[in-house]
Chain A
Amino acid sequence: MDADFDAIVVGAGPAGSVAAYSLAVAGLNVLMIERGTAPGSKNVTGGRLYAHALERVIPGFAGEAPLERLVTRETITFLTDESAVSVDVASDKLLKTPSYTVLRAEFDAWLAARAEAAGATLVTSIRADEPILEGGKVVGVRCGEDSMGASVVIAADGANSLIAQKAGLRRELDPSEMATGVKCVLELPRGVIEERFNLDEGGGAAHLYVGECTKGMPGGGFLYTNKESLSIGLVVQAAALARSPHRLVDLVEDFRLHPRLGALVKDGRLVEYSAHLIPEAGLAGMASPVADGLLVVGDAAGLVLNTGYTLRGMDFAMASGAAAAEAVIEAAKVGNFSKAGLGSYVDKLNRSFVMRDLRTFKKAPRFLHNKRIYSDYPGLVEDVATHVFAVDGSPRLPLRKVAARAVGAHGGLRQLAKDGWRGMTSL
């Protein structure tokens, strides 16, 4: 088959658009294929974009990209059925490593338009059906009746990557390695958001919740402020959901209606309800990202890091898209698009934060499967905190006794010490 393009990128999410942008800037002839009517129309994130990865590709991007709010407050909350105990961080130090809340329909459309402006061709409303193989090498993609050839195909088709799977690079997804994310977008006036969340103009809040919201299942809740809406939702491990007595559709409403969230989300009008899978196994879930004529980037390669207190996929997607583009540019110089010719992609990933962070936190996924984190420990924190503040004239216990009693009621000191140690060595 003839190569109509130097590269075909399947999927115009952050991974695909950054790859297409970088290839186009280098003068390569790139086609980007997106199944949605517009880039972003199929995509969901929590979401917060850690800016560093895109800053490297498009310096000063924050000045032109459709970003929602600069995150200026971070809150982690342990939630039980009636209580919330939070750690709230507001500090100018957060601004040294900026992160922004984003809504993907607008953001992805902007990023893909940047790739187009650099010279990439974008087609939308087209589903890529399968990679075309010749002699074991990927030489293009088939979309319905049409076949398109390219020297290299970049699979940037997200968590449900059928392209990587059909090329044999990714095994069937295991529900214990995936989480389902569900999100509600609630519309609220700008001023109300800033007042409720105690924000300066344009500032944003990022809230994570652990405990009751997932009924003790691995996962958590999130609440992000956008300009004129809130993004609120849950991320729950798919395997746990499958065996749970609860239905995810109910848990999402329970969370939105949780008494401790009421004051924050009150009067927010639901304008969208969305869901998406998240590959959560870190390194262990990683597909081989290279084959003859094919590179896999972003969620399609399983490049997501969940440490429990941060969930990062977009910066990994962008950095892997950029690394894949660099590898293709080098391969094009010598005209070698074989697995070996494209192999520098893996070296680049290994040297970048992508693989470094996945390696650093390689024990995190297993640690985070520990149910006690979601069922016992939020209750422990609640017991201590609510007791400390409860004054009714009855004799008070000293803090050490309060703590000892709470620990005893929630698994015991030995278990806590063990889990604490595992946490220290995994996160």
Chain B
Amino acid sequence: MTRMSIEERLAADKHVVDEGTPHIVVDVAACATCTPQDCACVKACPAGLFKAQGDTVTFDYAGCLECGTCRIVCFKKAIAWNHPEGGFGVEYRYG
């Protein structure tokens, strides 16, 4: 069996991305004061959407599994978190 990248795994899911309105907004100014390799969000997000890139952390809400982990682990409480609008986001077919 071969190792699957997180992108390959997320591709198995059905997502209806709300292009206009992100349901998670990260305060990038707070992130700038974090050490990317040590960040809670990078370690804990099960969708790997927080990425340590050079000396910053980048985030993209497309592919979010809506677990809420980032909201509770962020060291700086820098995440404004909501569920996506009704009907948007991940749509589990097995669950």
Contacts and interface: CB of A to CB of B under 8 A. Distances in A.
Given A127-B86, A180-B69, A238-B69, A272 B3 contact: no
Given A127-B86, A178-B72, A270 B4 contact: yes
Contacts, number: 150
Contacts of A104: 92, 94-95
Interface in B10-53: 10, 12-13, 40, 42-48
Interface stretch (A36-44, A388-396, A407-415, A418-426): A36-44
Given A266-B1, A272-B93, 4 more contacts: A243-B40, A253-B4, A262-B1, A267-B1
Given A103-B94, A103-B95, A249 B46 contact: yes
A160 B13 contact: no
Interface in B54-93: 65-69, 71-73, 75, 81-87, 89-93
Interface in A170-187: 172-175, 178, 180-182, 184-185
Interface residues of A, number: 61
What range describes how many residues of B lie at the interface?
35 or more
A264 to B, nearest CB: 11
Question: Nearest 10 CB-CB pairs, A to B?
Answer: A104-B95, A125-B87, A242-B40, A275-B46, A160-B68, A273-B9, A275-B65, A242-B73, A105-B95, A249-B48
B68 A277 contact: yes
A94 interface: no
Contacts of A381: none
A14 B6 CA distance: 30
Contact of B92 (A42, A182, A229): A42
Nearest to B82: A162
